[in-house]
Chains A and B, each alone.
Chain A
Amino acid sequence: MTTSYMHLVRPNVSAPAASSAASSCNVKIHTSALFQILEILSKQVLSNNSSGTSSKRIIGTLLGLRSDDGSEFEVRDAFMVTCTETGDSIAIDEQTHKQMYQLYKKAHPKESVLGWFGSSNQVDSTTALIHDFYSKGSDRSFPYPAIYLNVDYQSEQDLKLPELTTYIGAAIAGQNNGPTRIGWKLINQTSSYVFTPIPNQVITKSITEKLALNKLNEIGPAQNELLLSSSDSSKQLNHLTLQLQAVGLTIESLLNYIKEHKNGNDDDSIDLLRLLSNNLLNRPQRLSNLEELESKFKAYNQDVIMIEYLTKAVKEQIELSARLTAEADKK
């Protein structure tokens, strides 16, 4: 999504270790964490409510990594925290939050609380209340500023494509934990916050994860389920075949593109041509000696076949041994 952001100078009164004011912030959300949040929302809201919309507030804790200067966030996991809203006040189940976080911390010692997620369509006073909870105290994001990820998935009546917005909040009123000053009347005990939108992106880190995600995509969202493992015989080399087909398709579409733009003289076509010729014509010196290369290939193939042959022999031996033992016993 191409939303532009203005990096504002943030006041950071209540967060002493916040990044120096002028630096920009960036949030990376792991796909798995995003899916977890979406699952929590689906389960909590949609399953209880057939119309698909609900006013019930669902919040949860974001967990992950934060760069040393506090400007890069990596959201790696999330869990739900129950909260009940009564009028103007809100009660957050602190005990669960603490328990879950400490358990999570055991398996992921490097990660910490980054902030929280919610799913409302506006920033209101309750948002600030929750943010206050996450900004202060131990086992929360203090002394760093908390981030707030909002997943907006409700349009007027219906569901819509989940829209992600991330904010970083900074308190603007002074903290109230000092001695009450004479002459000041404190109406509420919480600070006020400025929510500054910061850019976010959804990332997939490991290649294996990407492969899994591709698999999810391949099937497409129409079917709700997909079969991951099929019977053994058809699985052999299945993946390789698919990948080869995908490469074939890519080449085909490239060729088609070139055919269509035969007379194109614009910058794009020239760039493409340059890229292609750079990639296709450049090759290491060693590759130009065809004969040597061929013999190397032959040797390599023979090695592989040898390994295959020996492995097969081992496999057969094992089976033979098992069968012989079984036969010997029958006598």
Chain B
Amino acid sequence: MATKNKTYQQPTATTIEVEASVLLSLVRHTSEHYPALYSGALLGFEDEEGGVDITHAFPYPYPDQYEGGSLRSKSGSKYQQDILDSLRNLGYGIDFQGWFQSTISGNFVTTQLVDALVQQQLTNKNAFVLVHNMASIGKELDLKALRLSENFVNTYISGKWRSKNLELNRLSYLNLFDELEIKIHNQQLINLYLAGNEDTLAKPMEKEFDILNLSSNQNVTAQLLESLYSQVDSYNYDQNNFNYYQRQLQKENSKITQWKQQRKVDNIERAKKGESELDTTEWETIFKLPAEPSRYNNMLHSHSIDVLADDILKKCDEELTKSFAIERKLVAE
């Protein structure tokens, strides 16, 4: 891999500052195109304290077939460069900082997305991806800024994905990503506008209570469960390979133990006869242990399943809260 000479650099930005308009137009673009998936570039600058400020978001022209599909595509990066050039012409001192990606729950953990992100992180230590989870679209806003963890990047650089390497880098599917805080940064006039909106119109913003409807959209849970099945299937496929390897390893190991015992017995007999002992380490040349398959996919699937499961549990908890509340009321009547 071409990453041999690169090392992990501690990122300086632990929070991401996003302009209000970026937040709104991003959310609008992704939710308007739901259920199609979209991604795009986030442009901004690094401030003096090393934080990242995002001032512009531009979606890529075409929808993604799967998460992370466009992040490193040629047309995508060309488009991104063109946008950047024209914005620089306008006098904005901005640069490419990260991506946004719309997704359904844990599906965003694809090899494409992770590959793109890790490559970007190796070039720019503050790179990140803003994931818009549309599992509860229309009910709740779910945005996460994610960056691959130090443990992951180190393992990636080494290029070895055996369980031993994972153990060495203390990497598990639970610490694949680091979550960053997102802060909203309002320009003066927007604050003025927001403040003015409250005072002059005396009209509180309309609330959206769709989340309170009892299973107002059952499809979502079904969809999440389907995603979970397919992830579990992929996981199982990978796990079968791994189990096969483990069985082979066990078989070989027992053969070796047998051989060692045999050799010991032989040696004792030879010693009785007064002959010289045979080499006890000869087994290393006779037996060959099977190579361990990569645990990379296993880890991605595991993480995806974990996020999906969390989302489903959350959905169920919400459902139960609402359902029990209504039921109590009914019984009381």
Contact = CB atoms under 8 A, between A and B. Distances in A.
Contact of B317 (A79, A210, A237): A237
Contacts of A51: none
B73 interface: no
Contacts, number: 268
A84 B261 CA distance: 91
Contact of A228 (B25, B173, B183): B183
A100 B228 CA distance: 41
Q: What is the interface of chain B mostly: helix, strand, loop, or mixed? A: helix
B170 to A, nearest CB: 10
Nearest to A153: B189
A176 interface: no
A307 interface: yes
Contact of B320 (A33, A207, A213, A304): A304
Contact of A225 (B21, B27, B183): B183
Contacts of A35: 19-21, 24, 190
A314 to B, nearest CB: 6
Interface bracket on A: 35 or more
Interface in B128-159: 134, 137-141, 143-145
Contacts of A100: 86-87, 90
A42 interface: yes
A247 B27 contact: no
A163 to B, nearest CB: 9
A20 to B, nearest CB: 31
A243 B183 contact: no
Contacts of A96: 86, 89-90
Contacts of B189: 38-39, 41-42, 46, 153, 159, 162
Nearest to A218: B205
B184 interface: yes
B327 A205 contact: no
Interface stretch (A121-129, A130-138, A318-326): A318-326
A80 interface: yes
Interface in B188-209: 188-198, 200-201, 205-209
B90 A82 contact: yes
A228 B182 contact: yes
A312 B60 CA distance: 37
B309 A103 contact: no
A95 B86 CA distance: 9
Interface stretch (A182-190, A269-277, A294-302): A294-302
Contacts of A208: 27-28, 30-31, 134, 137-138, 141
Contacts of B91: 82
B1 interface: no
Contacts of B60: 107
B173 to A, nearest CB: 6
A243 B144 contact: no
Given A103-B83, A213-B24, A308-B316, A314 B186 contact: no
Contacts of B235: 318
Interface in B1-37: 17-21, 23-25, 27-28, 30-32
B312 A307 contact: yes
B269 interface: no
A293 B328 CA distance: 12
Interface in B283-325: 295, 302, 305-306, 309-310, 312-314, 316-321, 323-324
Contact of A107 (B55, B59, B212, B228): B59
Nearest to B197: A217
B188 A159 contact: yes
B281 interface: no
**Nearest 4 A-B pairs (CB), nearest first?**
A42-B187, A35-B21, A161-B196, A32-B24
8 contacts: A77-B25, A81-B90, A82-B90, A96-B86, A211-B139, A221-B191, A239-B139, A307-B312
